[in-house]
Amino acid sequence: MERVVSIPAGHLEIGATPSPLLGSDGAAAVISLLDDGRVVVLTGAGLSTDSGIPDYRGPGSPPRTPMTIAEFRSGPAARQRYWARSHLGWSRMRTAEPNGGHHALARLQAAGVATTIITQNVDGLHQAAGSDPVVDLHGRLDTVVCLDCGARSARAALQRRLAELNPGFGGDDDPGAPTISVNPDGDAEVDDTSGFVVAPCLRCGGILKPDVVFFGENVPPAKVRRSYAAVEDAGAMLVAGSSLTVMSGLRFVKRAAARGIPVVIVNRGATRGDDLADLVVDAGCTPTLQVLADRLA
């Protein structure tokens, strides 16, 4: 669309202080779209990369094939593989801390500039940074749900049970465990999961699953409705760190564009929503959001 202006990395100048982000004309354009407030924010995995959590689709990301819900439900062997990998991954994911981008968005919310944060991430880092309200579109890794009775419990408690059932598997209490690659949804790249013991639900003995939306599952309707309501009440929309490859996030950008709500996308690399945006900023989330918070909050 002709109204789209793509802004590559350059220099953002606010007052007399240049920052290595956008051109000064681009900065003025971004700020003019967001300066009226009521900014609804949609975030993706690219926001958490500076916290040490990898991105599925960012530039340079290796190809990954996450487990689908159909595979998870297919039988004990698939769940054994999932929980063994997740046990290792959680040991490293749980130590992730909010980065400057998370804190910048929390500042924008506290100042009344940003309203609701809709996140595709499952790491809970927005809340750790102090953001409120947050819609965890795809759920949270720090909660576990039973597929049979629906009981929810803390992931930390399950992690302790898994460690007791699988001593020496390389969990929290094994500082000598080899370095492994951890995916954005918290599972580790490890091949040998034979012999891993899966913990059942303490209430009914049923199947435990992290309280996140697997590939092939639908986002809970209540979260979708809440997110649409936040978009329709917004004066502008800011997308940070999402390629918008999946419809779960792209639909909100489509709704904003259909309502004539300005859309600004900050992401490294192209996104599926670029043609719907008023401005596309090809830059890192952390420095860009920090400058915007300094200017607007």
Catalytic site residues?
A: 138
Question: If you write DSSP's letter for every residue of 169-223 in order, what string do you get?
Answer: SSSTT-TTPPP--B-TTS-B--S--TTPPPPPPTTTS--EEEEE--BTPPPPHHH
Are 280 and 4 in contact, with CB atoms under 8 Å apart? Answer: yes
> Rounded to whole angstroms, how far apart are CA atoms 41 and 118?
6
Omega into 133 within 30° of 0, i.e. cis? yes
Going by DSSP bridges, is the β-strand pair 152-154/139-146 parallel, antiparallel, or unpaired? antiparallel
Q: Name beta bridge partners: 117.
A: 41, 134
Cα pseudo-dihedral 79, 82, 88, 91, rounded to 10: -90
3-state SS of the chain: helix, strand, coil percent to 5?
Answer: 35, 20, 45
Q: Which of 2, 38, 5, 81 is nearest to 264 (CA)?
A: 5
Q: Give dist(CA 249, CA 234) in Å, integer.
A: 16
Tokens encoding 183:
């995916």
- Which has the closest alpha carbon to 192: 169, 218, 161, 215? 169
Give the residue among 253, 267, 152 at the shortest CA–CA distance from 211: 152
